[in-house]
């Protein structure tokens, strides 16, 4: 029926599902090497049933391409969630470990059903208290609920914890007392949580301390933690989200400049966790130049499920197409066909360790994510983490069938809305490579005129550089040479406004308003068209949704309808504010453009 040799390639998490006859009766076999594989196989089988697929002639073999498939909670110990838009943190630290919310089990099941096998419980802007005895016991209670579902827990740690909670006078990674402190801490954690996953670290970034305080490098810091965790099989996920403008005045270049020279210096249980793009989860970014640039180090990709910059829990934006654009991008780092997905799954550079993380959008809201459609992003993250080759359409259809309906009209309508929703958001927020145009104090509405008095790179004007001469950030070889961080031929193609894809045009080039686009229109005309198109797309989504009234339950229908109204209003605001502001330059007497 299933030979042991067939299971060899299934590994620890893979499975085989097969229809056979046993004693003249049809049976379905779900076989795996480990219980986790059986668990995933059963969820696959359920998915087929929920998707109304035939289950009488099954011959399925599946295993995950990426080893560590994690959610990252940006949950604070006081119950708030940084960039969370769905209520409070689901981790009720006050009541733990005595009271264990039954929702943790639901959480575990949801995650296991999409193959997620790890979760970082607390914010990367970490508090040292997570490593105190009390919190370790609380976390151990969560771990015991997640364990049967194959989910390991991890902590975000604060680099100077030995000082803040350990009474040491330094956190220097070369100090023997500090090293011992971390080793003892690891031992303490593993005593209570034997399958603890490891540490996630944000170091020397946005106010978080790091080894640089002591003149040490990221590798020195990461390796110290790796040494403490390695006896237990734990890993360190060290983030590359750093942008110290004293290293380079172009923020997009900083991560590469700090990390690439360290390639080869990290311990074998360290991964470098890098955001998909070089800025910060903007509606669209070109790939992070670190993918493919550190062949000796496993690079873990960080995606953002919570919609910090894409309308939060008010906008319907299905992010799988964005993630697919990144995963399917060719880095050319080892010649043509070296896709980001192959860097991330470790196959391009022969790494045994591989990982992907999604910044969670989960909160205490009844529907978990604030917007019913945001759940699609959680689902899509899990599915793409399992296999980056799945298409966004295929994932959307599975999710629609399981969440909304198996009625063909309903599926078709919702699938269409989802498919175009990300591009619509890019159009009404930041088309043609524009980025980071938000108003002060939040990452929601438009503020192209915003200038941060403290930091240039927290200002919108730093990114778009609009003036009467033109618009865009010149990262070409004549500008900051940000393009120089990519492999050929990307470097050459993106260096010229003629060959640079228009979706990245203003990311890499500062161009006159009269620049001619491939459509024959001027840049200013094209920009206006994109903003207009984005708003129109939301209007169409709204009408499309209305056509479903009566086909789905009223409660969820009304929820989405109300949010689409808000989305349309917000999209109009983005269009009007941005075009009014840019128009001041584009239509000024010396822009060269007709009014």
Using an 8 Å Cβ cutoff, are 114 and 76 in contact? Answer: no
Nearer to ligand GCV among residue 202 and residue 528 (C-beta): 202
Nearer to ligand GCV among residue 44 and residue 202 (C-beta): 202
By CB under 6 A, residue 280 contacts ligand GCV? yes
Nearer to ligand GCV among residue 47 and residue 83 (C-beta): 83
Minimum CB–partner distance for residue 335 and ligand GCV (Å) = 32
Nearer to ligand GCV among residue 206 and residue 576 (C-beta): 206
User: Is residue 190 helix, strand or coil?
Assistant: helix
Cα radius of gyration rounded to whole Å, the chain:
24
What string of DSSP letters covers 461-516? HHHH--BTTBBS---STTTT-GGGGSPTTHHHHHHSTTTS-GGGHHHH--B-TTPB
Enclosing H/E stretch for 546: helix 523-546
Nearer to ligand GCV among residue 312 and residue 476 (C-beta): 312
Minimum CB–partner distance for residue 308 and ligand GCV (Å) = 6
Residue 313 CA to residue 82 CA, distance in Å, equals: 14
Residue 139 CA to residue 131 CA, distance in Å, equals: 10
By CB under 6 A, residue 124 contacts ligand GCV? yes
Minimum CB–partner distance for residue 112 and ligand GCV (Å) = 26
Minimum CB–partner distance for residue 74 and ligand GCV (Å) = 5
By CB under 6 A, residue 83 contacts ligand GCV? yes
Minimum CB–partner distance for residue 114 and ligand GCV (Å) = 23
Nearer to ligand GCV among residue 205 and residue 591 (C-beta): 205
Using an 8 Å Cβ cutoff, are 428 and 531 in contact? Answer: yes
Build a one-symbol-per-residue string for 168-207: x at contacts with ligand GCV by CB under 6 A, - elsewhere: ----------------------------------x---x-
Nearer to ligand GCV among residue 121 and residue 505 (C-beta): 121
Minimum CB–partner distance for residue 241 and ligand GCV (Å) = 5
By CB under 6 A, residue 125 contacts ligand GCV? yes
E strand residue ranges, 73-151: 118-120
Q: Measure Cα distances from 13 to 29, 212, 383 in Å.
A: 16, 39, 14
Using an 8 Å Cβ cutoff, are 516 and 389 in contact? Answer: no
Q: Is 280 a residue of the active site?
A: yes
Rounded to 5°, angle at Cα 175 from 171 and 181? 65
What is the chain's percent helix, strand, coil content, to nearest 5? 45, 15, 45
Sheet containing 59-62, strands listed edge to edge, beginning at the edge strand earlier in sequence: 25-31, 15-22, 59-62
Q: Is 129 a residue of the active site?
A: no
Q: Measure Cα distances from 572 to 528, 565, 577 in Å.
A: 12, 11, 8
Alpha helices in 328-365 (DSSP H): 340-344
Minimum CB–partner distance for residue 281 and ligand GCV (Å) = 7
Using an 8 Å Cβ cutoff, are 328 and 285 in contact? Answer: no
Build a one-symbol-per-residue string for 60-79: x at contacts with ligand GCV by CB under 6 A, - elsewhere: --------------x-----
Q: Is 206 a residue of the active site?
A: yes
Minimum CB–partner distance for residue 295 and ligand GCV (Å) = 25
Among 220, 258, 308, 398, the one annotated catalytic: 308
Burial of 454 (0-12, 13-18, 19+ CB in 10 A): exposed
With CB under 6 A as the contact rule, which of the stretches 51-59, 121-129, 325-333, 462-470 interacts with ligand GCV?
121-129
What string of DSSP letters covers 191-236? HH-TT--EEEE--SBTTB--GGGGT--HHHHHHHHHHHHGGGT-EE
With CB under 6 A as the contact rule, which of the stretches 119-127, 422-430, 493-501, 546-554 interacts with ligand GCV?
119-127
With CB under 6 A as the contact rule, which of the stretches 46-54, 87-95, 123-131, 364-372 interacts with ligand GCV?
123-131
Spatial CA neighbour of 235 closest among 269, 261, 268, 258:
269
Residue 397 CA to residue 401 CA, distance in Å, equals: 6
- Helix 408-429 crosses helix 554-586 at what angle (to 10 degrees)? 30
Strand bridging mode 59-62 / 68-72: unpaired
Minimum CB–partner distance for residue 124 and ligand GCV (Å) = 5
Residue in the structure block whose two tokens are 């007497």: 589
Query: How many residues at the interface with ligand GCV, by CB under 6 A?
Result: 10
By CB under 6 A, residue 155 contacts ligand GCV? no
Build a one-symbol-per-residue string for 202-241: x at contacts with ligand GCV by CB under 6 A, - elsewhere: x---x----------------------------------x
Minimum CB–partner distance for residue 249 and ligand GCV (Å) = 18
By CB under 6 A, residue 577 contacts ligand GCV? no
Among 184, 206, 328, 549, the one annotated catalytic: 206
Among 13, 75, 220, 280, the one annotated catalytic: 280
By CB under 6 A, residue 341 contacts ligand GCV? no
Using an 8 Å Cβ cutoff, are 483 and 494 in contact? Answer: yes
Nearer to ligand GCV among residue 112 and residue 124 (C-beta): 124
Nearer to ligand GCV among residue 20 and residue 440 (C-beta): 440
Nearer to ligand GCV among residue 362 and residue 564 (C-beta): 362
Strand bridging mode 198-201 / 152-157: parallel
* Residue 112: both structure tokens together: 């296991």
* Residue 464: both structure tokens together: 């778009």
Minimum CB–partner distance for residue 92 and ligand GCV (Å) = 21
Nearer to ligand GCV among residue 15 and residue 309 (C-beta): 309
Q: Measure Cα distances from 541 to 401, 402, 415, 546, 579 in Å.
A: 19, 21, 11, 9, 22
Residues in contact with ligand GCV by CB under 6 A are 74, 82-83, 123-125, 202, 206, 241, 280
Q: Which positions are catalytic?
A: 206, 280, 308
């Amino acid at each position: 029926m299933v030979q042991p040799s067939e299971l060899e390639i299934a590994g620890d998490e893979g499975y085989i599902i097969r229809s056979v006859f046993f004693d003249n009766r049809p049976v379905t076999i779900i076989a795996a090497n480990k219980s986790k594989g059986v668990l995933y196989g059963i969820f696959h089988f359920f998915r087929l049933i929920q998707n109304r697929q035939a289950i009488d002639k099954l011959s399925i073999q599946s295993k995950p391409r990426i080893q560590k498939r994690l959610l990252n909670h940006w949950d604070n110990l006081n119950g708030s969630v940084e960039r969370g838009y769905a209520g409070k943190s689901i981790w009720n630290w006050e009541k733990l470990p005595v009271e264990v919310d039954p929702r943790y089990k639901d959480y575990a099941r949801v995650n296991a059903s999409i193959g997620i096998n790890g979760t970082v419980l607390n914010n990367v802007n970490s508090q040292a208290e997570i490593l105190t005895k009390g919190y370790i016991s609380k976390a151990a209670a969560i771990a015991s609920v997640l364990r049967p579902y194959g989910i390991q827990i991890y902590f975000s740690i604060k680099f100077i914890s030995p000082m803040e909670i350990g009474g040491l006078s330094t956190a220097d990674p070369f100090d023997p007392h500090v090293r011992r402190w971390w080793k003892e801490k690891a031992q303490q954690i593993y005593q209570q949580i034997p399958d603890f996953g490891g540490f996630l670290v944000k170091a020397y970034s946005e106010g978080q301390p790091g080894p640089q305080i002591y003149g040490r490098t990221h590798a020195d810091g990461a390796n110290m933690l790796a040494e403490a965790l390695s006896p237990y099989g734990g890993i360190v996920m060290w983030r590359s989200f750093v942008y110290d403008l004293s290293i380079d005045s172009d923020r997009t270049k900083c991560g590469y400049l700090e990390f690439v020279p360290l390639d080869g210096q990290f311990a074998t249980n360290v991964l470098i966790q890098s955001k998909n793009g070089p800025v910060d989860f903007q509606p669209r970014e070109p790939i992070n130049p670190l993918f493919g640039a550190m062949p000796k180090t496993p690079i873990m990709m960080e995606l953002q499920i919570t919609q910090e910059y894409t309308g939060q829990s008010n906008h319907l934006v299905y992010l799988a197409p964005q993630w697919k654009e990144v995963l399917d991008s060719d880095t050319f780092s080892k010649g043509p066909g070296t896709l980001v997905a192959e860097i991330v799954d470790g196959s391009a550079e022969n790494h045994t360790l591989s990982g992907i993380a999604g910044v969670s959008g989960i909160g205490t809201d009844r529907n978990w994510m604030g917007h019913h459609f945001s759940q699609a992003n959680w689902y899509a993250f899990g599915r793409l983490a399992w296999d980056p080759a799945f298409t966004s359409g295929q994932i959307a259809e599975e999710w629609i069938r399981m969440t909304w309906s198996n009625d063909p009209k309903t599926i078709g309508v919702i699938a269409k809305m989802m498919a175009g929703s990300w591009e619509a958001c890019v159009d009404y927020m930041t088309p043609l490579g524009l980025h980071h145009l938000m108003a002060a104090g939040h990452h929601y509405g438009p503020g192209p005129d915003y200038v941060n008095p403290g930091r240039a790179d927290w200002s919108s004007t730093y990114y778009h550089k609009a003036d009467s001469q033109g618009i865009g950030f010149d990262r070409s070889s004549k500008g900051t040479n940000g393009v120089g961080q990519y492999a050929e031929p990307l470097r050459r193609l993106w260096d010229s406004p003629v060959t640079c894809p228009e979706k990245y045009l203003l990311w890499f080039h500062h161009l006159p308003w009269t620049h001619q686009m491939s459509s024959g229109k001027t840049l200013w005309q094209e920009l206006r068209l994109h903003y207009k198109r984005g708003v129109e797309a939301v209007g169409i989504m709204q009408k499309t949704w209305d056509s479903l009234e009566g086909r789905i339950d009223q409660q969820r229908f009304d929820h989405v309808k109300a949010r689409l109204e808000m989305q349309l209003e917000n999209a109009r605001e983005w269009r009007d504010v941005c075009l009014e502001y840019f128009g001041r330059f584009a239509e000024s007497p010396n822009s060269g453009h007709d009014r």
